[in-house]
Amino acid sequence: MEILYKSTRGSEERVTASRAILQGLAEDGGLFVPERLPALDKTPEQFAQMTYQETAYEVMKLLLTDFTQEELKGCIKKAYGDSFDTDSIAPLAEAEGVWFLELFHGRTIAFKDMALSILPHLMTTAARKNRVENEIVILTATSGDTGKAALAGFSGVEGTRILVFYPKNGVSPIQERQMVTQEGANTRVVGIHGNFDDAQTGVKRLFADRELARRMQEKGFQFSSANSINIGRLVPQIVYYVYAYAQLLKEGRIRAGEEINVVVPTGNFGNILAAFYAKNMGLPIGKLICASNDNRVLYDFLTTGVYDRNREFYLTTSPSMDILVSSNLERLLYRIAGENPQQDALLMERLAKDGKYEITDEMRRGLKDFWGGYAAQERGAEKIRSLYEDTGYVIDPHTAVAAAVYDEYREKTQDGTKTVIASTASPFKFTRSVMTAIDSRYGEMDDFELVDELSRISCVPVPRAIEEIRTAPVLHRTECGKDGMKEAVEAFLGLEG
């Protein structure tokens, strides 16, 4: 049965999955959501016998219903192959009685690869299906990982260009070097003098700029998004939760139908929303534990019902979570408001005008599946050190936030449910933060010396993604103020004058 997509903010328009992927945002500025969430049509035992690629097809076919079997399997085959350093794509590692779902084995060693490896193929297939002749311009804001993963995914893809904005002083040295060394004539990277929220707000403003859209149309261009607001990013993320559950079943760690808890470090809310969708499609998930860093806007929302971005912004060692405007939360708001687009639009209007909103008591009851916690930077560092000292397993600062929050959850609730922690980035992407957390003496080494030392102490080979940037030349040096993003787009597309 076909699944169509609608806006969270109330437009009557209904579009196919391929059209939603191409547009990125709905015409009214809302996010596309499926008219209904379909139920998984395979049993846990059946999923337990599948490869990652087979699981991806069985999950994604339910939501991307206007893609043919041949089209969808072709996209999956291109996405999940040689660019990953393990055949299992998303392996589970056990440490301290929990399972870390390693989502960082793709070409940029962060979880964004799980969706951004397939999005370019979904998008170009969607363009063909919808007879789009314009060149698609991917416009993306990044807090560190989305940018490189999107650049790697779209580099050299015919019929596309990609421009990534990142906060100039708000990403790790390795993250920045991954982006500014990106090859590809169709790529552009711009560092803005501001934080991630400034970049994300600027991108949304550019998407809504009708005059710019008209000028782009005249030149044969149209915008789309690779950010987590794109439903083509969200759907592939559902897959790895289903796969993780199936692997635990296959290994005899759980019984079929037994609930697991899932812990996700999150800033933009997309990764944990995918787990929520998986739960609502029938995957046996108990609690969804939302882990925040010092920018604890999501923790405060889940515990008080008030979302307030009017607060101090912290640059932390977990920069992909340094976010005060969590775009994907809008999809959850829409659902817990009884799919009332007027209510959703009102909340988003208040957020834009006042920087805050409060949900109703009835909506708060819709948050019962979630448990919010936060871990300050020092607690995350302590967790990296203690986990390494106790087990030899090394995690990155984002995963450390999740692990620290889970420790608190288990202590407060005494809940013994088996648990999966989403491990969202390789420790090699944040070597300085990781190594100085383990031992302060490492602070005297340079970044690539730290890479080699991390490999030695963890007994893990240096990832290909790191080796490639050791000597790669810097190709992108453009910077702009947060009010200069439109001019950067115009220059990239040759629209000046």
Active-site positions read 112
Strand 32-34 relative to strand 187-193, pairing = unpaired
- Confirm if 140 and 131 have CB atoms less than 8 A apart: no
Q: Taking each helix axis from N to C terminus, what angle separates 270-280 and 329-336, rounded to the nearest 10 degrees?
A: 40
- Confirm if 363 and 304 have CB atoms less than 8 A apart: no
- Confirm if 59 and 160 have CB atoms less than 8 A apart: no
How big is the chain by its Cα radius of gyration, in Å?
21
Residue 363 Cα distances to 108, 144, 289, 340, angstroms: 38, 32, 18, 11
CA distance 332 to 336: 6
Quick count: other Cβ atoms within 10 Å of Cβ 249? 22
CA distance 113 to 152: 9
CA distance 247 to 372: 26
Burial tier of 244 (Cβ tally within 10 Å: 0-12, 13-18, 19+) = buried
Residue 330 Cα distances to 32, 234, 296, angstroms: 10, 13, 17
Task: Report the SS3 class of residue 76.
Answer: helix
Strand 98-102 relative to strand 92-95, pairing = antiparallel
CA distance 481 to 194: 7
CA distance 153 to 24: 17
| Residue corresponding to tokens 């559950």 | 245
Task: Report the SS3 class of residue 358.
Answer: strand
